[in-house]
Amino acid sequence: MINKGAVTLIYMALVTLISVLILTVGYSRFMLSLRRSEAFADTIETSYRAESEINNLLAQLVGGYLTEANFPISESMAFGDTRVEIEARIEDNSQIIDVTASRFFAVNKIRAVRVAYGSGFFNDAEIIIALDCTGSMGNSSGSSEGTSRLQEQTKAVLGFIDNLAVSDYAGNVRMGVAVFGRNSNWLRSVSGQQVRPDAGMTVAEVRQAVYSGFTYPSGSGNLARSRSQSICDELVEDYTNIGAGFNIMNNYFENNPPPSGNAKRVEILISDGEPNTYIRESVCLNRPTCVPCSGNSFPLDYLKCTLADQNTEWTGGRTGMRNPLVDSYVVTVLHNPPAAVVSAIQTYSTEYYNAIYAYQLSEILDRIFESISTSFARTTISRIIPISEE
């Protein structure tokens, strides 16, 4: 009688043990699956939270609600289970903002570095001006003084250089002057030196080169009225190939590193005519492959492809040749500006001005100088965690 029920008890114990084991395995798997899903959800949540916070801070900075006076910043906050830490500091002329969003299973850290230029932060700059050297520049400027367009162009450029010379930035700017007609070339100084930004010329030396090249007789104090009286005749052929003017500047910026990582690079082109010619060397680098353009619309197409930046499509599937970090200012002197030319320049340049009369050029170049020297900022956003794989 004592042994009665022993087998039943053993059986029951075994069944219970096996059931517990099965339940444990099932529960473990369930928990593991749950944790994996949580980890995935946490990755998404932290990623978006960090991005959202950094964008919020940048919007406040740009809008002026957050200023350098508020730096350094060290804050932490919680959104539910998401913890967000903000660390912001100033190093040299850079505002560095780190946002770290963390949850149980994921961490995301994003850094924004905002570098301010101008207003005392104007580090280095490279400016190239391309001058129109075509025959039509000998026409009247419309001024009551009876000057020619070429004379007004020279006055405007000398004024621009004078503004630069007396500014705080004179020592930080490398300047170049190019000329264009059917082809393009660098202006030369009296000694024959090309006026390129990397030529090591001071602002005063660049001014002297412009002065001697565009006075008649050279250095006389009388501004040259026409291309034949100026250095233009020696440097380029007649007729208007505006793309050639952009091309010489593009080539320089593409093949020469900037003087520093934060250098501002600017090209300015002045022209009084519609593009009406091109040369064999006028090739649109239709990135990523190089295909020569042709056809009647080519002079205008060449203008578009040399002015558009490398991130902008100027025609189906083809992007421009200008480095997107180079700002392009274009000035035309057109009494009745043709719509196609205006549309192309407005679309692809950084800023576009049209002077109805050439005597307005000085005022326009003054505005460009102001625009260039006004403060601006560049922000770079990067992911710190998760670490990028190289």
Partner 1 sequence: MNEKGLTIVEMIIGMTISVIILMISTSMMVNIFYKDTKSKQSEILSQVKNDLQSEITVGVRWAETLSFSDNELVVDNSIYRLNDGVIEKNGEAITPSSVYIEEFEIDDFSTTLQQKSLRVNIAMRHRDFSSVSDSLEVVVSQRKMEIEEQ
- Interacting residues with partner 1 (CB under 8 A): 26, 29, 33, 36-37, 40, 43, 47, 51, 58, 62, 311-313, 319, 371, 374, 376-383, 386, 388-390
CB of residue 379 vs partner 1: minimum separation in angstroms? 4
Distance CA 159, CA 28 (A): 79
Residues 6+ apart with CB under 8 A from 309: 319, 320, 322, 323, 324, 326, 328, 348
Which residue from 154, 134, 342 is spatially nearest to 244, judged by alpha carbons? Answer: 134
Tokens at residue 105, please? 């299973």
Tokens at residue 46, please? 């932290």
CB of residue 196 vs partner 1: minimum separation in angstroms? 26
Toward partner 1, which CB reaches closer, 346 or 382? 382
Toward partner 1, which CB reaches closer, 171 or 317? 317
Toward partner 1, which CB reaches closer, 61 or 341? 61
CB of residue 94 vs partner 1: minimum separation in angstroms? 14
CB of residue 381 vs partner 1: minimum separation in angstroms? 5
Name the DSSP class of 296: T
Cβ(279)–Cβ(299) under 8 Å?
Answer: no
Toward partner 1, which CB reaches closer, 144 or 289? 289
Distance CA 86, CA 73 (A): 7
Toward partner 1, which CB reaches closer, 126 or 152? 126
Helix and strand tally (H, E) in the chain?
A: 8, 13
Which residue from 166, 185, 44, 150 is spatially nearest to 103, judged by alpha carbons? Answer: 44
Distance CA 311, CA 296 (A): 26
Toward partner 1, which CB reaches closer, 169 or 211? 169
Toward partner 1, which CB reaches closer, 47 or 194? 47
CB of residue 365 vs partner 1: minimum separation in angstroms? 18
Q: Is the preceding peptide bond at 386 cis, omega within 30 degrees of 0?
A: yes
Tokens at residue 345, please? 């320049």
The string of DSSP codes covering 88-148 is: EEEETTEEEEEEEEE-SS-EEEEEEEEEEESTT----EEEEEEEE-SGGGGSB-S-TT--B
Distance CA 345, CA 353 (A): 9
CB of residue 28 vs partner 1: minimum separation in angstroms? 12
CB of residue 191 vs partner 1: minimum separation in angstroms? 38
Tokens at residue 39, please? 């980890």
Toward partner 1, which CB reaches closer, 11 or 40? 40
Instruction: Compute the Cα dihedral for 180, 184, 189, 195 and give only its sign.
Output: positive
Toward partner 1, which CB reaches closer, 294 or 380? 380
CB of residue 26 vs partner 1: minimum separation in angstroms? 8
CB of residue 167 vs partner 1: minimum separation in angstroms? 18
Query: φ, ψ for residue 6 (rounded to 5)?
Result: -65, -45
